[in-house]
């Protein structure tokens, strides 16, 4: 078997095992939540007979392992169950919310990735100079600020004072592409500011680490400009760690949107899981949590595979 295919197969198997363990943790974590879901849904005035009948209708009278196997079997068949709050199929409930979250994450990535790569190139070109130090101060400050703080600052500046963008991101199935872009502008900028710093610093570090290599010195001796040396010779060889960080930050963009969606009241998967927790709609919480975990594991797996393909030296033990 091809060594790369063998390593990729091992990574995929490890990812599947990780997802199974995560499903166990999600299901077990829900079971250990305080309170009784039947009592919470029916109210304190419900009779014991009513509560018992409701628990039986939800399958809560079955052993824990049986409930887990039923839940996992349904998910493997694409059936997430039924929401307790409105009786709708969870798949139908999640699909438009997942699309909104992915649209927001892609919009943030379109802003953040080119700016991070350009900023990293400029910082490496003017390393240890004023521009480099100024960019480092800016990115370190952006790393230090939590998402909700960045979100409220942008709302204050761009929505309240300037009136350029809406402070609430209200979209639905009838929204056009332009309307969606206008609605997600502020949350996308917020997420871009948060992830921009990590990608930019990795780009700079990867490029600077290559500048002492002999082929870089050879390119300089040929009379090439420093910018051309960075772009044509250093950047292609630094793509492996840069691509790894970019994919990992894309994973964060999708799984870390909960706070941002709540701040902007954006109808995505993060807002749905918060609303479901408040309503104690356990099946929806489980489904959303598993989708977030699956997305994060798959994107981490993608980053791992890209690192192997772009840097074959990782196939061999040191």
Indicate if the pLDDT at residue 315 is higher than 70: no
Q: Is 164 exposed, middle or buried (0-12, 13-18, 19+ CB in 10 A)?
A: exposed
Q: Strand pairing partners for 89? A: 82
Indicate if the pLDDT at residue 283 is higher than 60: yes
pLDDT tens profile 124-174: 888 888 888 888 888 888 778 888 888 888 888 888 888 888 888 888 878
Domains of the chain: which residue ranges? Answer: 3-76, 90-315
- 90-315 fold: MetI-like fold (1.10.3720)
Indicate if the pLDDT at residue 26 is higher than 80: yes
Matching residue, tokens 């709540």: 262
Lowest pLDDT segment from 84-88, 113-117, 129-133, 182-186: 84-88
Give CA–CA dist 245/14, Å, rounded. Answer: 20
pLDDT tens profile 199-245: 888 888 888 888 777 888 888 888 888 888 888 878 887 777 788 78
- For residues 96-116, give the mean pLDDT: 89
Per-residue pLDDT band at 313 (split at 50, 70, 90): low
201: closest CA among 131, 140, 111, 129? 140
Give CA–CA dist 237/208, Å, rounded. Answer: 12
By residue count, the chain amounts to 318
pLDDT tens profile 44-76: 666 777 767 767 776 777 778 888 888 888 888
Give CA–CA dist 270/22, Å, rounded. Answer: 18
Give CA–CA dist 240/174, Å, rounded. Answer: 41
112: closest CA among 104, 160, 42, 282? 104
Indicate if the pLDDT at residue 178 is higher than 80: yes
């Amino acid at each position: 078997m091809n060594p790369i295919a063998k390593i990729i197969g091992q990574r995929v198997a490890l990812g599947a095992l990780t997802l199974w363990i995560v499903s166990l943790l999600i299901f077990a974590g829900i079971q250990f939540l305080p309170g009784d879901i039947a009592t919470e849904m029916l109210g304190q005035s419900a009779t014991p007979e009513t509560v018992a009948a409701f628990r039986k209708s939800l399958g809560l009278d079955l052993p824990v392992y049986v409930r887990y196997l039923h839940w996992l079997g349904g998910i493997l068949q694409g059936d997430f169950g039924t929401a307790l709050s409105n009786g709708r199929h969870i798949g139908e409930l999640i699909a438009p919310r997942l699309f909104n979250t992915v649209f927001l994450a892609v919009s943030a990535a379109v802003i953040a990735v080119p700016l991070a790569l350009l900023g990293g190139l400029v910082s490496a070109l003017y390393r240890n100079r004023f521009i480099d130090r100024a960019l480092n101060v800016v990115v370190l400050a952006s790393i230090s600020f939590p998402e909700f703080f960045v979100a409220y600052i942008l709302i204050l500046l761009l929505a309240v004072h300037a009136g350029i963008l809406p402070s609430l991101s209200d979209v639905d199935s009838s929204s056009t592409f332009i309307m969606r872009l206008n609605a997600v502008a502020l949350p996308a900028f917020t997420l871009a500011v948060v992830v921009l710093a990590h990608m930019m610093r990795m780009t700079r570090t990867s490029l600077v680490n290559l500048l002492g290599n002999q082929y870089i010195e050879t390119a300089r001796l040929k009379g090439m400009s420093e910018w051309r040396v960075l772009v044509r010779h250093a950047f292609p060889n630094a793509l492996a760690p840069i691509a790894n960080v970019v994919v990992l930050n894309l994973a964060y963009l999708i799984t870390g949107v909960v706070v941002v969606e709540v701040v902007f009241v954006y109808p995505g998967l993060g807002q749905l899981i918060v609303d479901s927790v408040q309503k104690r709609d356990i099946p929806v919480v489980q489904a959303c949590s598993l989708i977030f975990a699956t997305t994060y594991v798959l994107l981490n797996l993608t980053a791992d595979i890209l690192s192997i393909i772009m840097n074959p030296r990782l196939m061999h033990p040191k």
